[in-house]
Structures are given as structure tokens and as C-alpha cells.
Amino acid sequence: MPPTEPTAVSPAEPASTTPAAPASTTPAVPVPTAPAVSVPTTPAVSVPTTPPAFTGDARPYGGGDPYADYRAADFPFSHCVDLADRRLGAAVIAANDEFFADRENLLIPTPAVFDPEHFGHKGKVMDGWETRRRRGTSACTPHPAADDHDWALIRLGAPGIVRGIVVDTAHFRGNYPRSVSVQATSVPGSPPPEDLLADDVEWTTLVPRTPVGGHAANGFTVSAGQRFTHLRLNQHPDGGIARLRVHGDVVPDPAWLAALGTFDLAALENGGRVEDASDRFYSPATNTIRPGRSRQMDDGWETRRRRDHGNDWIRYRLVERAEIRAMEIDTACLKGNSAGWAAVSVRDTATDTGEWTGILSRTRLQPDTNHRFLLDAPVTAREVRIDIYPDGGISRLRLFGSLTPEAAARLAARHRELDG
């Protein structure tokens, strides 16, 4: 029985109504009084009972926009982190065949491109992973056997719980696989392919063998509540897949975080996440907690131009309850469109009031600059919000500190439970 396909969810994008304040040319580092913070609520979402499923060939390419007849849907898990993002360290470490197109294309973060006139010495050059056509054993049995299939091994960039998978066959119209299946395992360290393919490795089926459609984003919800480190993508019997997305929740290794002591509490790879944002017009707010510095403008968070007197904001949830001691607000590659000012506030949900408290008053930001702030004393928090004035963007937010003892114990207990 194929898993239930996902349904559309539209994120809320409320606007803050905090009034603008006079400009200040002196950076404020000490812990100030709390700024006015308007925290949005998430509206109820209606979920259709019969989500779409894509099967069969797409129409042959007839010219013009190759995505004009692309079949896709908004998936309820798409707000989760892509655990197979190359920018988090994911990789396709092996495949049994990649005759027409390289396996590494599966994890390119941008949509697949199509050039109808691009041919190489092996045939049509496709932006994806494509294997040769399978054949039977003789003239009497020319077709592949029922169990014949091609496979690729994927190391997740951030181990975690898988909530949903997208097998994207964009531009593979008559050469996509008939069906796909996905398995997962949890193996510590950095095992080579031969270790993962050993008979003693236990694999959990996340997506059973399920028909898919060509030139379509084929989405599957996943209910396995375990922490996984590697995936095996199977296509039956052969063909091409453009992209693979593995959406889920990061579950960091508590032993590693304990050894680090002080680390970035909001970073994606450490289990931080974006809870909400006022605006996602040009780029997602999640970019602000990706690894490394931004390399170009769209690798950060940029909002549309405001024509009112409000401001934009992002709300984060830290990996666990922690003490923040320092932070960075980076505007790398944002030159004429960086935020003018920023303020940061925190909330400790373990307290009775759970109110927001300011830790950085409204402070002038410079374009294309990494701003560093030391707090006068550690501040305990579970959630963090950055407000920018009036609009624009930042490329990264880093919040350095360490877990409270109780939070470290909870994280370790959850890790043991999810590892089975």
C-alpha cells in the first residue's frame, strides 16, 4: 500500500506593526529593555482528504517553458529542513549505474534545468541521475526481471527524523522509472558504501515500491519515528530522477554537542529551526541558519520592499533550552538591500510568563558586514526573534552558547529513544 500523499499548506506571513524608531549610530551591546514584539499565531489549515498522485508519462516536450506542464503540489512537510541538502554535507556516495547522468545531480539545491539541444557522446544530457535501459537475459526473455532495479546511496547532511520525501522526475517525460522505493538506516560515523551494502545492515522501508509519474514532483509522507543517517533510493527497473528532497527534523548527536560545549544554538545542523517569518518573498528565512557565510545575495533572507510603517522579522526555536552568550548578525552579499537596523529578543518557555525579553536593542547594521555582539551576562532562552527595520534582509544569524544541564539530559534521552 503506497503511503498517503501530502496536501497543500500555505505558510502564514503576518506583518509586524512595531513603529519605527530614530536611527542610532552607536551599536548597543548590553542587555536592554524588551522591545515591543508582536508574535503571530498560525491559522488553522484545511487538509483535503484526497491528495493528488502523479502517474504515467508526461507530454513530450513541445517547446517553450519546460515547466509549463510540470506536475507538482504543495506538501505539508515542505517547511521541514531538507536533510539531504548538500549545503549541510549530504552526498550521493554510490550508485550501481549512472551511464547517462551523474548521481550527484540528485542533491543539487536548485530546480533541474532542461536544454533540448544539449547532447553528448552518450546521448541526451539530463540534469539528474539517469541509468541505462535494462534488458532481459535472452531473446526469449528480453524484458528485465520483476525485481531488477537501480539504486543510489545517500548520506544525509543532517541525521534526523524523515517526515516526507520528494522524488522529482522533472524533464524525465518518457524515461522516468516505473516505480520507486526508499529505505533508510542509521549507521554511526562515516561508513563507506561497502559497509552500508553489507548483509548485516538493517534497512527500514520509508516508501514502499510505488508508481510515479514523469515530469512531476512525486511526494510521499513518512511516518517512521526514528533517526536515520543514510538512505537508499531505488528506481524500478531503470530510468531517470532529477532531484531528491528528504524533509524532516534534525536530531543532533548530543555527545558531539557536549564535546563542543559552546556552539551555534540556532544552526540547522545542530537542530535549530525557523518557526515563522513575516516575509519570504525573495528567499527563505531558513537560509539564515545554514552552514557557512553567504556566497551570494539569494543565499540569505531578503524581504520585499515595505510601503507601510511596519517591519519584518524571523522567529527561531533553538535546539533546546540554552544559555546564549554571544551572537552574530551577518549581512554578507546584501549591499543595497541589507536591513537598516536590527533588534533581538528571546523567550524562555520554561518560565511561568514566557514573555519576550530584549537582548539587543535596535542597532544600526552595515551592508555586507558580519556584526558581533557579546552579552553582558548569559541569557537563558528556548526561542529567539530578530526584528529588522524597516525591511531588507540578513544573510546569517548565529547564537553562541551552551545547553542547560536539564536540556542536555533531555536531548540525550531523545537521541537514545530515536536510535532504537
Given a contact cutoff of 8 angstroms between Cβ atoms, the answer to whether 138 and 245 are in contact is: no
Task: Answer whether 156's CB lies under 8 Å from 90's CB.
Answer: yes
CA distance 394 to 302: 7
Is residue 48 over pLDDT 50? no
Q: Is 406 helix (H, G, I), strand (E, B) or coil?
A: helix
Using 50, 70 and 90 to split pLDDT, how confident is the model at 2? very low
pLDDT tier at 25 (50, 70, 90 boundaries)?
very low
- Whether the per-residue pLDDT at 136 is higher than 80: the answer is yes
Angle at 201 between CA 195 and CA 207, to 5 degrees: 115
Cβ contact 157:86 at 8 Å: yes
Check if the beta carbon of residue 399 is closer than 8 Å to that of residue 385. no
* DSSP reduced 3-state for 298: helix
Place 53 in a pLDDT band, splitting at 50, 70 and 90. Answer: confident
pLDDT band at 209; cut points 50, 70, 90: very high
The model's confidence at residue 175, banded by pLDDT at 50, 70 and 90, is very high
- Range 285-314 average pLDDT: 95
- 231-255: average pLDDT: 97
| HEC readout, 28-58 | CCCCCCCCCCCCCCCCCCCCCCCCCCCCECC
pLDDT, residue 20, reads 39
Mean pLDDT of the chain: 88
What is the per-residue pLDDT for 354? 76
What's the CA gap between 246 and 167, in Å, rounded? 9
For residues 53 and 204, the model is more confident at 204
Q: Looking at 245-249, 264-268, 293-297, 350-354, which range is the least confident one?
A: 350-354
Give the mean model confidence (pLDDT) for residues 138-157: 95
**Residues of the chain with pLDDT > 70: what percent?**
87
What is the mean predicted confidence (pLDDT) over 241-265? 96
Instruction: Tell me how many degrees the CA angle 255-259-261 measures, rounded to the nearest 5.
Output: 115
Query: Could you report the per-residue pLDDT of 5-19, keeping only the tens digit for each?
Result: 333 333 333 334 343
Other beta carbons within 10 Å of 55: 14
Q: State the Rg of the chain over Cα.
A: 23
Question: What is the structure's pLDDT at 420?
Answer: 60
Closest to 272 in 3D by CA, of 227, 316, 221, 304 = 316
